[in-house]
């Protein structure tokens, strides 16, 4: 026990002095809900620490004091109704104290009405598809090429040399800062889960279901997460990247996408036409 | 009751003069002690196989990048590790202990249904040969996680029906084991042993057996529906055919959550036996322990959806399952407090079984704390399917159930073999296991909180350090278990001091009234439950 504590302590010290590599706690995140989630987590954690200190202290005390090697004679009591009532009632009270804010936060989390922006996230094996129904924008978001090379067995690429190894995509989800974004989540094949720790969002993407969550990012920046539900071979290789930008930058991005989309659609059509022509050639032979 | 005793008696007339020699003794055995031994040896073997898979997982996760296995094989490793450890190691170990100890503790000559007992054991080697053979099939073993969520579970190779069938076999074995335990306990107790006078291990198992009976058929139903979805054109869980993939999760966890308690309630029983012996004091709150276990068993049926807080349930559903789950902390707390009160003002010594029981007390409590944390829905949205959850359930299963099994083996091994195990090596096994199990699992809390999902073969470099630490812990923990095997083998070979009938310093319970090693047949006439051995 002591050794475990010492190890934990050593790790904590290491964590304090070293980089984020030794991160030991949940991020506070960048939305009101993620901060509330973090506070709930810490509140329950400190309750556990407090209860743990009391209970473990009693256990350690009795192990030190009431041992035969110190000549301690065994008492023979085997119940005490008053004590048992007390240690049933106190946990109930503590649980009530925990349950109230948890329930309040949960109610707030579930209120996804009146969004400023809606995006539809669709899970595929093994990439995400993002759709902005209000803006006619949609695109796939896959693991970026560099990570995708490095992740192969015997790729010869050191993961430490790849920036944001396994947490980078080609096309991130872009959302405006300060807007209430509603995310509708579904899947086209197996169950996935869309997880962004900094936004305290994790929701399963289930074929045949449309789940809804919401967030309001208060700080611009790039926030990274991963698929959290085992979805097959490349489950580890479908990261989620959300870029929170200033509202003006978002408007500009939407414009650029539309222009880009039109061009893309034109070239897609041309490519399809070539393919069809090619197939006709083969059939002709 | 008398008739039941007499019947079991007749069934054994043929082998009254000791066991038959050679392989017949084991293959045809209807003796609860031999069957118990077979269960325990089998579970040790499975513990080693499941542990080897775990070491392969940890080796791959030692550093970022793929070094040893391909992602698809990694998923097979995690899936099979879980199935083997749950159904092959922990559950059969508990059944083995039940076989050995329940008749000895209630003063019965054998289990009530000895032939069924033989069948329920001998199904297992076939079930697990089948399960392990799937590794060599086209497409490899099951790789969709031990929870087998559709539609992913249906994307399997040739192994799929074999995996399902092996789960059916395990289920049959468990159900027969459970029936045997219930019938034995309810019908074959010594005349003066009322239910509340029963030892706590027997109580833990009685409740466990009812849980098994209630939920194993549910699992069988769930996996059968998977089978028909795959091969017979049904759409129970396929959205495209009007089915519901989430319904599978509800059905699975209606089995899965009681399953968790199936693995821990016998452990509670074991710890409640060991601590009083080495504290030289009666168990504190014998009756409240029984009520607490019953309470936990009841609650286990109404908390299943706390495994599904991210699937998108109605708010009221989430609130209900959060509150119900938090309630479990109350009876669990009562148990921990009772064990502490049992030690309080005792006259404690710290032989290996007691050390494991105390480690259980501390580390299971830590698992309980993280269990309370994952009950809080908004926070669980962050914890869910991350390494935090991996840390949580390994804390309750390894230093929880597995340490309790170690405690039980060290506690009763002298009774089984007649030889005292090597105390020095036992203590070494304890210290190494306890240190390494924490190095192995504690950093996983940090990994999960920092955002590492579970069931991934490769990870971003920010998770590298704690993963390396965990792998070092895993290697240490794995190697420490070789000491355990050596200690057990030496005791079986009779290398060590002869054990007396009581073995320990005045332990309570009928098992200590028979000689060590326990003769092939015991309690052919029901014993008298004297105040000396009674628990109340």
Active site residue B229: no
* Cβ proximity of B511 and B533 under 8 Å: no
User: Using one digit for the tens of pLDDT, what is the confidence trace for A105-164?
Assistant: 999 999 989 999 999 999 999 999 999 999 999 999 999 999 999 999 988 999 999 999
Rounded distance between C-alpha atoms, residue B292 and residue B361, angstroms: 16
Encoding tokens for residue B511?
């098992």
Distance (Å) from the alpha carbon of A253 to chain B's nearest alpha carbon: 28
Q: How many CB atoms are closer than 10 A to CB A50?
A: 11
List the single residue in B with minimal CA-CA distance to A109. Answer: B378
B65's enclosing H/E stretch is none
Q: Model pTM?
A: 0.91
Q: Which helix (H) or strand (E) holds A207?
A: none
Coil, helix or strand for B509? coil
Q: What angle do CA A210, A125, B161 make, to 5 degrees?
A: 95
At residue A22 the predicted structure's pLDDT band, cuts being 50, 70 and 90, is: confident
C-alpha span between A260 and A174 (Å, rounded): 15
B81 is catalytic: yes
Which member of B37, B134, B272, B342 is catalytic?
B272
CB atoms within 10 A of CB A204: 28
Q: What is the pLDDT of residue B6?
A: 46
- The three-point CA angle A262-A265-A267 to 5° equals 110
Mean pLDDT of residues grouped by 10 in chain B (536 residues)? Answer: 46 59 92 97 97 97 95 97 97 97 96 96 97 95 95 93 97 97 96 92 97 97 97 95 96 96 97 96 94 96 96 96 96 96 95 97 97 96 96 97 98 96 97 97 96 96 95 97 97 94 92 94 88 56
Q: How far B114 CA sits from the closest chain A CA (Å)?
A: 37
| Cβ-Cβ contacts under 8 Å, B349 against chain A | 67-69
* A206-249 per-position pLDDT tens digit: 999 999 999 999 999 999 999 999 999 999 999 999 999 999 99
Does A14 score more than 60 pLDDT? no
Supply the pLDDT for residue B340. Answer: 96
pLDDT surpassing 70 at residue A278: no
Q: Which tens digit of pLDDT belongs to each residue from A253-271?
A: 999 998 766 556 656 665 5
pLDDT tens-place string over residues B154-188 = 999 899 999 999 999 999 999 999 999 999 999 99
More confident call, B48 vs A1: B48
Dihedral, CA of residue B505, residue B506, residue B512 and residue B516, to nearest 10: 30
Q: State how far the Cα of A200 lies from the Cα of A36, in Å rounded to an integer.
A: 9
Catalytic residue among B335, B392, B445, B521: B335
CB-based contacts of B70-74 (< 8 A; 24+ apart in sequence)? B70/A153, B71/A233, B71/A234, B71/A235, B71/A236, B71/A237, B71/B457, B71/B458, B72/A233, B72/B140, B72/B143, B73/B140, B74/B457
Q: Give me the pLDDT at residue B21, please.
A: 84
The reply to whether residue B348 touches residue A67, judged by beta carbons under 8 angstroms, is: yes
Residues in chain A: 285
Active site residue B521: no
Query: Which residue of chain B comes nearest to A160, CA vs CA?
Result: B461
The answer, yes or no, to whether residue A5 has pLDDT greater than 90, is: no
Is the CB of B334 less than 8 angstroms away from the CB of A231? Answer: no
Token look-up 């590794």 returns B135
Give the closest-approach CA distance of A134 to chain B in angstroms.
24
Q: What pLDDT score was predicted for residue B528? A: 86
Task: Please list every residue in chain A whose beta carbon sits closer than 8 Å to the beta carbon of residue B336.
Answer: 55
Q: Rounded to a whole number, what is the distance in angstroms from the first to the last CA of chain A?
A: 78
Contacts of B446 in chain A (CB under 8 A): 11, 15, 22-25
Examine the pLDDT at A23 and tell me if it is beyond 90: no
Hey, is B253 helix, strand or coil? helix
Task: Scan residues 143-202 of A and list those with Cβ closer than 8 Å to B.
Answer: 150-153, 155, 158-160, 164-167, 189-191, 193, 195, 197, 200-202
Token match 């020699």: residue?
A: B21
Q: Name the helix (H) or strand (E) containing A195.
A: strand A192-196
- Residue A267: predicted pLDDT: 60
Q: What is the ipTM of this complex?
A: 0.90
- Closest by CA to B34, choosing from B45, B10, B49, B18, is B18
* Averaged confidence pLDDT in chain A: 88
Please give the pLDDT value at position B168.
97
Q: Is the pLDDT of residue A7 over 60?
A: no
Residue B515 CA to residue B472 CA, distance in Å, equals 43
pLDDT at B184: 97
Look at residue A272 and tell me whether its pLDDT is greater than 70: no
Residues of B in contact with A44 (CB under 8 A): 372-373, 376, 379
């Amino acid at each position: 026990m002591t050794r475990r504590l010492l190890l934990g302590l050593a790790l904590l010290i290491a964590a304090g002095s070293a980089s984020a590599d030794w991160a030991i706690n949940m991020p506070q995140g960048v939305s009101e809900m993620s901060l509330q989630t973090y506070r709930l987590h810490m509140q329950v954690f400190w309750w556990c620490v407090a209860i743990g200190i009391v209970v473990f202290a009693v256990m350690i005390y009795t192990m030190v004091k009431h041992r035969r090697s110190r000549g301690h004679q065994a008492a023979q009591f085997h119940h005490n109704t008053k004590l048992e009532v007390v240690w049933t009632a106190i946990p109930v009270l503590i649980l009530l104290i925990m349950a109230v804010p948890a329930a309040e936060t949960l109610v707030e989390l579930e209120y996804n009405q009146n969004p400023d922006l809606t995006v539809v996230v669709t899970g595929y094996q093994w990439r995400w598809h993002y759709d902005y129904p209000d803006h006619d924008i949609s695109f796939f978001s896959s693991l970026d090429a560099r990570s995708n090379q490095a992740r192969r067995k015997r790729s010869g690429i050191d993961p430490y040399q790849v920036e944001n190894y396994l947490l980078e995509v080609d096309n991130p989800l872009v959302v405006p800062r300060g807007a209430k974004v509603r995310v509708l989540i579904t899947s086209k094949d197996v169950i996935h889960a869309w997880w962004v720790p900094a936004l305290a969002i994790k929701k399963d993407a289930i074929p045949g279901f449309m789940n809804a969550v919401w967030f309001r990012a208060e700080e611009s920046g790039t926030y990274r997460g991963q698929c959290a539900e085992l979805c097959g071979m490349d489950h580890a290789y479908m990261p989620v990247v959300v870029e929170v930008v200033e509202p003006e930058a978002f408007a500009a991005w939407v414009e650029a996408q539309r222009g880009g989309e039109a061009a893309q659609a034109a070239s897609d059509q041309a490519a399809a036409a070539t393919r069809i022509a090619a197939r006709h050639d083969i059939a002709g032979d | 009751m008398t008739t039941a005793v007499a019947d079991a008696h007749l069934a054994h007339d043929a082998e009254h003069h000791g066991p038959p020699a050679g392989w017949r003794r084991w293959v045809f055995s209807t003796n609860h002690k031999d069957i118990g031994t077979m269960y325990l040896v089998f579970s040790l073997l499975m513990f080693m196989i499941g542990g080897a898979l775990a070491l392969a997982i940890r080796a791959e996760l030692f550093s970022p990048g793929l070094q040893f296995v391909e992602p698809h094989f990694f998923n097979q490793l995690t899936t099979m590790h879980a199935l083997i450890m749950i159904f092959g190691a922990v559950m059969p170990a508990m059944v083995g202990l039940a076989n050995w100890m329940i008749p000895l503790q209630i003063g019965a000559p054998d289990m009530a249904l000895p032939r069924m007992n033989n069948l329920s054991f001998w199904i297992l080697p076939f079930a697990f040969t089948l399960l392990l053979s799937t590794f060599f099939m086209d497409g490899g073993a099951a790789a969709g996680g031990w929870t087998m969520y559709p539609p992913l579970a249906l994307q399997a190779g040739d192994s799929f029906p074999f995996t399902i069938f092996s789960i059916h076999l395990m289920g049959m074995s468990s159900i027969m084991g459970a029936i045997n335990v219930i019938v034995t306990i309810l019908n074959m107790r010594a005349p003066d042993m009322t239910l509340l006078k029963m030892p706590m291990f027997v109580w833990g198992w009685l409740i466990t057996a009812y849980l098994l009976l209630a939920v194993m058929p549910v699992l069988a139903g769930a996996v059968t529906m998977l089978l028909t979805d795959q091969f017979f054109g049904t759409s129970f869980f396929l959205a495209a055919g009007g089915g519901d993939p989430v319904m599978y999760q509800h059905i699975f966890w209606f089995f899965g959550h009681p399953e968790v308690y199936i693995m821990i309630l016998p452990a509670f029983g074991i710890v409640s036996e060991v601590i009083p012996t080495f504290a030289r004091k009666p168990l504190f709150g014998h009756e409240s322990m029984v009520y607490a276990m019953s309470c936990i068993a009841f609650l286990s049926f109404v908390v299943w959806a706390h495994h599904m807080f991210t699937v998108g349930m109605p708010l009221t559903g989430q609130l209900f399952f959060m509150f119900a789950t938090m309630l479990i902390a109350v009876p669990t707390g009562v148990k921990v407090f009772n064990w502490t009160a049992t030690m309080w003002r005792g006259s404690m010594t710290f032989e290996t079984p007691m050390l494991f029981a105390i480690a259980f007390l501390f580390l299971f409590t830590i698992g309980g704390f993280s269990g309370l944390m994952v009950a809080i829905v908004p926070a669980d949205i962050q914890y869910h399917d991350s390494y935090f959850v991996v840390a949580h359930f390994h804390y309750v299963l390894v230093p929880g159930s597995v340490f309790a099994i170690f405690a039980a083996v060290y506690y009763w091994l002298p009774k089984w073999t007649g030889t005292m195990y090597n105390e020095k090596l036992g203590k070494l096994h304890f210290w190494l296991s306890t240190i390494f199990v924490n190095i192995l699992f504690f950093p996983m809390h940090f990994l999960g909180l920092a955002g590492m999902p579970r069931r991934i073969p490769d990870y971003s470099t920010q998770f590298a350090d704690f993963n390396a630490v965990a792998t070092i812990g895993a290697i240490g923990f794995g190697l420490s278990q070789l000491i355990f095997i050596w200690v057990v083998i030496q005791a079986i070979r009779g290398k060590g001091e002869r054990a007396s009938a009581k073995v320990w310093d005045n332990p309570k319970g009928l098992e200590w009234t028979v000689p060590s090693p326990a003769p092939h047949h015991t309690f052919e006439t029901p014993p008298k439950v004297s105040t000396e051995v009674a628990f109340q």
